[in-house]
Structures are given as C-alpha cells and as structure tokens.
Amino acid sequence: MGHKPRKRAANRTPLDKHRRDGSRLDPPFAVMPGMTPSSWLDDVLPDMLWAALIVDGLEREHALAVFRKLAAVVHDAAVSFPDGLITHSALAEAGPATVKAAVDDLCGDRAVASVLSPLRLLPELPAYDGWASACEPLTDDPAGWTSLASAVATSFNHQSQAATDCRWIVVVAKLVSGNMTIHPDQARQYLEYPNVGDMRVVRPSIRATEMAFRSMSNPPKWPEAFWQFCLKSTECGPFYNYAPRHPDIQVGITAAQSQDSQLRFESRSGRPWSTREWTQSAMPCSAFAPIPRLSLRR
C-alpha cells in the first residue's frame, strides 16, 4: 500500500502573523521598517516628463542619441550632478547652474526644444523658468495637452520600451557621474544599450536598477502636484495612443468610428487605416486624459 504524498508547506502567512490596523490586516512584508511603496506611473513618470516627451516625440534613435549626449554632460560636469539624478525635482534641487547645464544641452537640439514645449503648461514644474525659457513657444494649448497626454500614455506601462528607455538614462546618469560601480561587462551593456547584450536580460536589469536607486531617495512632491493639476485642467476620458508615424498622417486623426469591433481611422488625405496597420495601446480613464475630440499630434 503506497504512501500519500506529503503536502508541501503552503506559501502563505498565517493570520496571526498579520498586523491589524482597524479593519485591515497587513502582512509582515508590508510593515517592514524602511519599506516605502513606489510606482513608476504615480511617482516617477511625472518627474521624468522631459524624457517621456522626447521618447514619444522623436524617432527612437534620435531620442537615445539625445540621452547619450546628456549623459556626456553629466560625466563632464559631475560636480554639478553630485547625485547623478536627472529628474525634474533633482535638477531643481541641485540649483540653477545644474538646471541650465541640462536644459541647454537638451534644447540645443531644435527638435527637442519643440517636443518639450508642453512643459510650459505646467507652472508648478520644478525649475519651471529654466525649462520654459529654453523650450520652443507653445502656440496651441489644447495641442500641447494632447502631446503631454500622448507622452504619458506611451510610457504608461513601466515595462514598455518607452518607459525602459526613460529609465535607462536614469541608470546611465548614475553610472557616468560616479555614483554607481558595477562589473565592466554590465557597464558596457548599459552604456551601449540597446546594441550590446541580450535585451531580454538587459532591459529587466535596467528597470530593476532604476527601481533600486529610486528607493534610496525621498519621494518628491512634484508628482502628486502634477496629477492634481492635470485633474483640474483636463477632462477625464479614454485615450488611445497610436504609435506609427506615416507620411500620410501629418496632423493627426480627423475621423474615427467603430466597425465590427475594430476601430477604423481616416487620415487627412481620406485614406482609411484599420487596426491591422496601427499599434494601439489604450490608457484607461484616469485623472489625466486629453479633452475629447482633440486630434493626436505625432
């Protein structure tokens, strides 16, 4: 007669090990001292808006070249970037000279100065004057909000290619400023991203490293102010970001309708486009969405 297989110990914490907080039970891991939850979307993306706008507004090779050029500035002027941080909040905290060094380098490229113009819509942005003085003038506020919403939607998913590119420049800035020491092989993968190494390994490594650095600093106040300002300034609604750039689509979508559970779009020239020709990613209804009926500026 055979023996019954022994049950493996369940991978769960018994109730008596939870801490009661009113009607809520907190597991041991959630109440460990020094543990602070952090969200890419809620806490980091608003502080990396400049990078998100560049990734969304330029071709990828151009965007990465802009990031590499900024990394060279951080390396050459490491004294101005003592912590190697390049978020909006960190640059403002470092002082006007640091803001000027970063912003002048970025906006020296006219295309970058143009795609960063929606930052002018955010008066509470850290070091607002430094960014606004270097960006191209914003002639159309609704279109600026649409561009800003598009940038957020493109980097909405923390594991997306766009978000990973934004997180990569955070890691590289830490590396070239002398605030990070790693094995030379890994350093080469980061510095020569995305051309060296297996991206199935390198990309997750970049995200994990950025998240580790994030936990070492106090959460800035700007992200919460950003979401609150957008809640007051924009209407809430579904937003769709259409990734491909085609010469036939120059000023955005002029018509959209639902047909047989598929969206069909009409370009300015009248040519129909189906979802088979578009890469569509949806951003759910949230505190930040563009005013309905605005066309997408790509």
Q: What is the mean pLDDT of the chain?
A: 79
Q: Look at 85 and 292; give whichever has higher pLDDT.
A: 85
pLDDT digits (tens, 9 = 90+) for 139-172: 888 899 999 999 999 999 999 999 999 999 999 9
Beta-carbon count within 10 A of 268 CB: 14
Amino acid identity for residue 75 in this structure: H
What pTM was computed for the model? Answer: 0.72
pLDDT value at 51 more than 90: yes
pLDDT value at 66 more than 90: yes
Q: Look at 65 and 12; give whichever has higher pLDDT.
A: 65
Element housing 262 (H / E):
strand 262-266
pLDDT value at 231 more than 70: yes
Q: Which residue shows structure tokens 């020239």?
A: 269
Task: Please work out, in degrees rounded to the nearest 5, the angle formed at the alpha carbon of residue 246 by the alpha carbons of 269 and 120.
Answer: 100
Decide: 67 and 110 in contact? Cβ < 8 Å: no
What integer is the mean pLDDT of 193-222? Answer: 91
pLDDT of residue 291: 34
Two structure tokens written together for 91 = 């640059």
Q: Round to whole Å and give the CA distance between 229 and 231.
A: 5
Q: Look at 215 and 111; give whichever has higher pLDDT.
A: 111
pLDDT of residue 29: 74
